[in-house]
A and B are shown apart, each in its own frame.
Chain A
Amino acid sequence: MTGACERAERRSERTKSRPIRNFLETIMEREKTKSELINFVRTIQRPDCPLDDIDGDLSLVKSGLIDSLALLQIISYLEQTYGIDFREKGVDPADLASVNAILELIERESGA
């Protein structure tokens, strides 16, 4: 009886901690995607405009870090790495404006 109670308690603990674990996994996944994305942006940045820190909300084109043509490379990257298909909806340049905006696009399209 006691054993059954303990098992039930443990199961209940696991059930309670599952949303927290999922939440933490989502955050870690997001951070990993963000750091991969920043690394990629560094490979396409303008040669005359290197930045030490790329903030998630930094406007990539307006800050001069990349030019509007580099957005094409971001599109190819998103197609190849995350399998996003832009053919039907097209591309909204606002979705590629910053690292955080791109992250939201990835999450939206992955969940779609």
Chain B
Amino acid sequence: MPGTFSPYHRVAQFHENEKLISWLQDRRVIQWLTPSRRRTILLIGACCAAVAGTMSRHAPWRDYRDLATWFVPGVALPILLGLVYLLYLMTVRFKRLPAFIRARPQLCIHLFFWLLLLWLWLAPAPSLFGSAVAALVAGSFPYLIWRCGYMVLSGQRGKASATKFSDHFFYIFPMWDGTNTPPGKGHEYLSRAEAQTAAAYSRSILAGIKLLLLVALWKGLMQVIGAVVYGDPKSSLTGLLGGSHFDIPRLRAIVSGHVTASLGIIWLSLYLELIWEVLSLAAKGHVWVGVLRLFGFHVFRNTYKPLLAESIVEFWNRYYYYFKELMMEFFFLPTYLRYFRAWPMLRIVAAVFAAAFLGNMYYHVLQAKNPLIDGDAAKLWSLLGPRLIYCFLLAAGIAFSMLRQQRLRGRAVAPGMPKGGIFRLRRIAGVWTFFALINFWNVISAASIAARGRLFISIFGF
């Protein structure tokens, strides 16, 4: 209720405190950091990130005493920048592109990547140096391809013709880092969320600080869980506890067969792994989004209370927001808009499978860049084989949940309809169980599909 904020609410929602906002917006530094100045800082950061990112992707770069290791990124980086600039030109002149590229621009970008890979696999190496440069260019693609994808998408939507290269460069080589998934998506989304006034910027900064404080909190909690639950030697608290802990094994150790555990412990480990992964992803995502907010882009959080989700589809939306958005924009919507338009249910199911199954698998195939560049199919299969089952179960769960949610939509809630309390807890428990169980097929381990399958069946008492 307004006016009756609890002390907890006042502390937790400090970023919405009007007095604090008005104090902050009067600071000289906030007045000086106009949107254009903030973007300039981000551009300088992007130049550094482009150099550092290319160096770090070049496997032998750590051998910095050898001058030869500096030459490969030195040649690969201008090539990458040239490719990104070509894609920018494609974006701003989208209407003038040939019809087949206009119809499927994303497919063309990915086709280019696969042709480069094919050349790496089949062509006789021109020289060791040439191969290393080509491998570094190809190895950088999975990081850049989705970011450039967002840039081209804005051109496809007719919203990029007046943009400059610098409007895109800062998120293609972001100084706020991230995985291959771009937090903050691209130009359109970031521009919409950009603070234009000192007051809006102050709000964004406070929201960013809140996320960075949450990072410290979640990391601290992970230290506690690591020490108390797992007895993790890496946790700084393990030593303080003098070796006393619950000794619950990590899920990957159970799946790999390194430890044997009772049925109850396996189930406990499944749920704890889910909590651990949520905390870990939230801590990482809050850093990316926190930095974005400090620079005035008041974008959505990457992870927002997924453990309170009451449906599978809600969990997917809250767990890794920018990955879900990536799947939505590049796989779900194109499928939904093109195919099965006359069959509403099939249309949704096909689009969900395109995103959560095909798109998800494809994203992770690109992520496994070393076996991909080496053309090592066996290694790729051992890494991603079990994930096929994970993605299939995830897609089936989301499709089911989505259709169910759609049926419920538009109905008025009857006064006696179960909404909260025990019914809510039951729904949350169902979501936890689903994601904890499918995680069994996602956890990193050398265990084969068959070995995982046997263990998976055994946890149901068979």
Are A and B part of the same complex? yes
Q: What residues of chain A have their CB less than 8 Å away from a CB belonging to chain B? A: 42-48, 50, 66-70, 72-73, 75-76, 79, 86-92, 94
Q: Are B406 and A69 in contact (CB under 8 A)?
A: yes
Q: Are A91 and B188 in contact (CB under 8 A)?
A: no
Partner of A92, one of B159, B408, B410: B159
Within the complex, the shortest CB–CB distance from B140 to chain A, in Å, comes to: 26
Q: Are B157 and A42 in contact (CB under 8 A)?
A: no
Partner of B412, one of A50, A68, A76, A87: A50
Q: Are B333 and A90 in contact (CB under 8 A)?
A: yes
User: A13 to B361, alpha carbons, bound, how many Å?
Assistant: 68
Give the secondary structure class of B's interface. Answer: helix
Bitwise, B327-359 to A at CB < 8 A (1) or not (0) is 000000110111001001001100100000000
Q: Are B348 and A46 in contact (CB under 8 A)?
A: no
Give the secondary structure class of A's interface. Answer: loop
User: A67 to B402, alpha carbons, bound, how many Å?
Assistant: 11
Q: Is residue B413 within 8 Å, beta carbon to beta carbon, of the partner chain?
A: yes
B188 partner residues in chain A, CB cutoff 8 A:
92, 94
User: A44 to B333, alpha carbons, bound, how many Å?
Assistant: 19
In addition to A48-B413, A67-B409, A68-B317, 9 A-B residue pairs with Cβ atoms within 8 Å of each other are: A44-B409, A47-B410, A50-B413, A67-B314, A67-B405, A69-B402, A70-B406, A90-B337, A91-B337
A67 partner residues in chain B, CB cutoff 8 A:
314, 405, 409
B419 partner residues in chain A, CB cutoff 8 A:
48
Smallest CB-CB separation from B157: which chain A residue?
A92
Q: Are B409 and A72 in contact (CB under 8 A)?
A: no
User: A87 to B317, alpha carbons, bound, how many Å?
Assistant: 24
Q: Are A87 and B406 in contact (CB under 8 A)?
A: no
Smallest CB-CB separation from B405: which chain A residue?
A69
User: A83 to B257, alpha carbons, bound, how many Å?
Assistant: 57
Q: Are B102 and A88 in contact (CB under 8 A)?
A: yes
Smallest CB-CB separation from B351: which chain A residue?
A72
Smallest CB-CB separation from B409: which chain A residue?
A44
